[in-house]
Amino acid sequence: MPPVPPRPDPPAGESPAGAAPQQPRRGERVVRLRPEQTDEGYKSVYSELTRPTIGSRIRTGIRGIGEVMITFGVVVLLFAAYEVWGTTAVIGSHQDTLDQQLDQQWDQPDPTVGPTPSASPNPLAGNAIARLYIPKLDKQWVVVEGVTQKDIRYAPGHYPSSAGPGKVGNFAVAGHRNRATFWRLDELDTGDAIVVETKTDWFVYKVVRTRIVKPTQVEVVAPVPGQPGVKPSQAMVTLTTCNPKFDNYQRLIVHGQLARKQARSAGQPVELG
């Protein structure tokens, strides 16, 4: 059988017989390929190889950057969701544990009562010392001793150098500005109640002032708020947190003054419903 003669190239710009003309896509350049001869004849007549241009490469790069940014945005949204709901769940779990610890602690005999009373030691950092209620926000927390990041990770913390609950001076408490803690502290108005529960008593404070200060203005937790060195004559409470939300270049401060004291054995104050 005589060899199959090579098929001549069609004129430039024409499509081979039986082949539909192919239009190059935007941003691509068409390069013609020669036919391939095999033992069975011509395997293909003409093919088109497309090669990207500089413009198409730029568009591909922009598209890739866009996909990366979308992925990054999804990751940020997932992280934000965890900060809102995940952190709230974690703090709630730790608050339940602290609540149980506080009940167990209050069930123990008072070391200052008995035939041989002993001095009550200062609470250790991170230990539960009281419960804090804000009826307007329908919120309550166990308060721990200390205000380091470790101390207040899961609970509001008492400034160790400030007065105790109900004592003359300033019972100062710091808390993070997250949805599980002092997120809505800015909603408090003058006259709103802040209630503190100890082993023996309830202390009902009334908000007298809210303000925003710089982080360096530590005089807000002085025995007389804003007047360091002055001897106190009233029992106060001060709540501090970051401001604005999602940032910490300011501090939101809420001051309250003791309105009344009630024995814990008499039941909950009317402010708690």
pLDDT per residue as tens digits for the range 114-124 = 554 444 457 88
pTM of the model: 0.70
Instruction: Provide the residue ranges of all domains of the chain, joining segments of one domain with +.
Output: 126-268
Query: Sign of the CA dihedral 245, 246, 248, 250?
Result: negative
Residue 21 has pLDDT above 90, yes or no: no
Give the closest residue to 169 by CA, choosing from 72, 236, 109, 257: 236
Is residue 136 exposed (0-12), middle (13-18) or buried (19+ Cβ within 10 Å)? middle
Look at residue 44 and tell me whether its pLDDT is greater than 60: no
- How many Å is the Cα radius of gyration of the chain? 37
Q: Is 106 helix (H, G, I), strand (E, B) or coil?
A: helix
d(CA 168, CA 236): 7
94 is catalytic: no
Q: Say whether 242 is catalytic.
A: yes
Fold of 126-268: Sortase; Chain: A; (2.40.260)
pLDDT tens-digit profile of 50-73?
Answer: 566 787 788 888 888 888 888 777
Greater pLDDT, 1 or 37: 37
Q: How confident is the model at residue 59, as a pLDDT? A: 80
Residues 6+ apart with CB under 8 A from 224: 170, 230, 231, 232, 236
Measured between its terminal Cα atoms, the distance across the chain in Å is 107
Tell whether the model's pLDDT for residue 256 goes beyond 70.
Answer: yes
**Active-site residue, selected from the candidate residues 94, 158, 242, 255:** 242
- In whole angstroms, give the CA distance from residue 40 to residue 67: 47
Is-contact 172 148, C-beta < 8 A? no
Name the catalytic one among 94, 158, 176, 255. Answer: 176
pLDDT of amino acid 271: 96
Q: What is the band of 144 on the pLDDT scale with cuts at 50, 70, 90?
A: very high
Tell me which H or E stretch contains 130. Answer: strand 128-134
Find residue 201's DSSP bridge partners.
Answer: 263
CA distance 251 to 173: 13
Cβ(162)–Cβ(221) under 8 Å?
A: yes
DSSP state of 84: I
Instruction: Look at the alpha carbons of 106, 156, 187, 178 in this order and tell me if their dihedral is positive or negative.
Output: negative
Residues 6 or more apart whose CB falls under 8 angstroms from that of 256 comprise 194, 205, 206, 207, 208, 236, 237, 238, 239
Asked whether 4 and 41 are in contact (CB, 8 A), the reply is: yes
For residue 255, count CB atoms less than 10 angstroms from its CB and return exposed for 0-12, middle for 13-18, buried for 19 or more.
buried
- Secondary structure class of 158 (helix, strand, coil): strand
Q: What is the pLDDT of residue 45?
A: 47
